[in-house]
Amino acid sequence: NEDRDYPFPVSLVISNIPDGLIVVGQLPQFVEVSLSAPLSLWEQMMVDASAVQAQLDLSGMKAGEYRLPVDVIVSYSPVRVSLVTPAEVGVTLENKLEVKFEIQPEVIGEAALGYNPDRITLSQQMVTISGPESLVSQVDAVLAELDITQAKETIFEEVVLKAVDADDQQVTGITITPEKINITQTILQTGGYRDVAVKVETKGQVASGYRVTNISVNPPTVTVYSSDPQIV
C-alpha cells in the first residue's frame, strides 16, 4: 500500500436536503482527500477524475446549526481514506420562505430639457421572493430601477430587479423570480419646447486654390423655449 494525496479536486455535494429547508451561508466547494491503496490501484486512480466523491448527507435534519462529517466514497477497492480536509463542515439549515411582492418602479435621473416622463409600464406586476426565512423577512420592497438621464424618447429596457429592506439596503442571498422584467417609460416633449437643427451659414469665399469639403457643428441640435407656443 501507498499513502498519497488524490490528485484531482473532489467536489463536495450536498444531498438529501429536507423539504421546506434551505442551506444558509457558503460551504466549501471542494475537499482534499488522502488515500491508502495498493500501487496497482493508484495507477488507475491517478488518471480517473471521478474515482473519489464527497458528500454531506442532510437526511432527517431539522432547522438549526450542525457540524457534519464529510462522507468520502471511493469507487475502487480495497482503498482506505487516510485524511479528509476539511473532515467536518458547519451547516446551517433554515426554513424556506416564499413571499409575493408587487414590483415598484423607481425612475432615476431627469429627462433632457423640455422633456418629461409620462406613463411607465411593467411587463409583470408581481414577483416571488424565496430563500431563508431570516433573509426573506428583511425584504421591504422589490424595485425596478430605470435611468432616464437626458432621455428624449420613449425608453424600452430590460432591468434586473432589486430587493431592499426598510433602510433601502439591498438584501442578498435570496432568489427573485423572475429576476428581470421589461419596462416601457414614455417620454413626452413639454409644450413650449422644441428641438431644432443647427444650420451653418457661411459668408465669403475661401482663398484661391482651396475649397470647403465639410462643415460640422456640435451640438447638431439645440432646444428652444418660449412661453408663446406660436413663436416656438
DSSP assignment of 41-90, as one string?
HHHHHTT-TTSEEEEEE-TT--SEEEEEEPEEEESSSS-EEEEEESSEEE
Q: What is the pLDDT of residue 115?
A: 87
Helix, strand, or coil (residue 148)? coil
Per the CB < 8 A criterion, the answer to whether 97 and 133 are in contact is yes
Cell 416564499 -> residue: 98
Amino acid type, 108: I
Q: What is the pLDDT of residue 152?
A: 87
Q: What is the pLDDT of residue 184?
A: 95
- Work out the number of other CB atoms within 10 angstroms of the CB of residue 6: 24
Q: What is the pTM (predicted TM-score) of this model?
A: 0.64
Q: Which residues of the chain, if any, have pLDDT below 70?
A: none
Q: What is the pLDDT of residue 182?
A: 95
Nearest to 42, CA basis, from 54, 34, 31, 53: 34
**Calpha distance 93→21 (Å, rounded):** 6
Which residues have CB under 8 Å from 16's CB, separation 6+?
A: 57, 58, 59
Strands 175-177 vs 126-132: parallel, antiparallel or unpaired: antiparallel
Number of H helices, E strands in the chain: 2, 18
Q: What is the pLDDT of residue 162?
A: 94
